[in-house]
Amino acid sequence: MWVTAVIAAIALAGWFAVSCGPTDANAERPVSEEEAALLAGMRERNHDADPVAVRMSVPMDGETVIADGYLDWRLPMLYARVPDAEGDHRLVQAVPGLVATRADDEAAFAELRVPEDGWTTRQMLSGAGTPLETTFDILASSLFTLTAEQADDPAVLGAQATWREEGVIDGEPVDSFRAPIMVESDERGASPEALYSLDEEGNLRRFQVNTGEESLSAVDFLRDVGFDPTALVPVDLLGGPAIEPSAVDEDLAAVIAAVRERNWSRSATVELTVPTADGQITTGTGSIDWRTMTAYLHLTDAAGQRLFLARPGGYATLPVDDGELPETPPAEGWAAHALTDEDVAETFGPVESLVYRLLEMSAEEAEDAEAIAESAFLLRVDETDGGPVQVVEFPVAGDAEAAVGRSAFRYHLSDERLSEVEMVSYFGVASAELAYEDYPMVEIPWAVSEQIG
């Protein structure tokens, strides 16, 4: 799948040891059948609802930290402007298992715009660097349990939930209930509890959960705040816009079947963006030459800059200080790694995986269009200034089996040609954008060529 499962994120934080703090037990009573049914339908109602504005209140070191945001129930995805440990703010997007952050842009957030650049990603919970980030991750993870395609079992909630009190939120009368976190899990034993405040129609108005402080963290759902959710889309590092997989038609199947053959005698420039660690992105520019099966790139990451050469038999790297990609690779200084080396796994990471997938995007003959029609899926169509871009998935020899819409690779097709390859990595979604160009063949030093093919 595109993102780590919610339950994995919860388990990483040891969430099954967390529950709500002490309450006035004398005020509680068992829920009625009608109340259990109302609770049971809450997650399904949320899933079918429009995105909603939220206000998060988090206790931290004796103070309350406030953050405003927007929640898309269906993805699910949270977009928020969150205070940081230095007293400033950062923009944050979160999906199950992953968090993307960037420097603050108050104007963009006020207009409900998502800046395109400047983002880095990290694993939810395990990648948190401060107590506030950890608390935010726990709260975001809990929010993602509040949506489901189907209603829960009212009999289960009837046995486990309790009514606590009446109240008023945003002028609406509410009833508050204590109930387990509603998340599908194979774990046995008690689930953590939360407080749910529902209005007369069963809409969730407030959600409270123990995030490890003395008082509960709370999320208010500002259902009366109107806004245009059109731009509420995950950044590319989190997978981009939502997908709705469908079978490919005969014409699209023929296009996909011929994609690799069209690349057989072509070359293209490449721009890479690869999340490689918590808060770290590797970027790269260069070329892919299917005529000689050679990738030649300049890469930049937290460790510095390096040149990168790859051929079917292996790859080589060379540290550099200059940000330019030399037309002719230097003759000396390369560290080469054959794919048959016993220790190659120590240096083979997501950058190498994506580059080798690019090299695989070439074939001497077209594939069987009828077979492609049975195995390929259209995920979405992006409208761009250059025309429609079809985002598809289809299996390549050696790919692991995956559920529809959850392949490790996605392919963008523009004008019947491959324009981008996306790849799921542990820290987010990597991408390689292609622009076809008659690129000069790279003259690889003989000593390097002997080792990498």
DSSP 146-162: G--SS---HHHHHHH-E
- Given a cut of 70, the residues of the chain with pLDDT beneath it are 1-26, 183-190
Contacts by 255-258, CB closer than 8 A, 24 or more apart: 255/413, 255/416, 256/367, 256/369, 256/372, 256/376, 256/392, 256/394, 256/411, 256/413, 257/366, 257/367, 257/368, 257/369, 257/372, 258/366, 258/367, 258/416
Tell me the two tokens of residue 289.
């030459």
Rounded to the nearest angstrom, the gap between the alpha carbon of residue 151 and the centroid of all alpha carbons in its chain is 25
Residue 346: Cβ within 10 Å count: 9
Residue partners of 450: CB distance under 8 A and separation at least 6: none
**What is the reported pLDDT for 112?**
95
**What is the reported pLDDT for 191?**
72
**What is the reported pLDDT for 10?**
41
Distance CA 359, CA 197 (A): 54
Instruction: Name the strand (E) or helix (H) holding 139.
Output: helix 131-143
Residue partners of 411: CB distance under 8 A and separation at least 6: 256, 259, 391, 392, 393, 394, 418, 420, 421, 422
Pairing of strands 314-320, 304-311: antiparallel
Burial code (b: 16+ CB inside 10 Å, e: under 16) for 281-303 equals: bbebbbbbbbeeebbbbbbbbee
Q: State the distance between the two ends of the chain, measured CA to CA, in whole angstroms.
A: 34
**What is the reported pLDDT for 17?**
39
**What is the reported pLDDT for 87?**
84
Which DSSP state fits 70? E
CATH of 6-232, one of 2.50.20, 3.30.310, 3.30.2010, 1.25.40: 2.50.20
Portions of the chain given CATH number 2.50.20.10: 246-452
**What is the reported pLDDT for 26?**
58
Instruction: Name the strand (E) or helix (H) holding 436.
Output: strand 428-436
**What is the reported pLDDT for 240?**
96
Instruction: Name the strand (E) or helix (H) holding 95.
Output: strand 89-95
Q: Does the reported pTM lie above 0.85?
A: yes
Q: Phi and psi (nearest 5°) for 416?
A: 65, 15
**What is the reported pLDDT for 187?**
53
**What is the reported pLDDT for 214?**
82
Torsion of CA 310, 354, 441, 260, to 10 degrees: 120
Q: What's the CATH fold of domain 246-452?
A: outer membrane lipoprotein receptor (LolB), chain A (2.50.20)
**What is the reported pLDDT for 184?**
60
Distance CA 263, CA 251 (A): 19
**What is the reported pLDDT for 16?**
43
Distance CA 184, CA 205 (A): 23
C-beta of residue 31 within 8 angstroms of C-beta of residue 161: yes
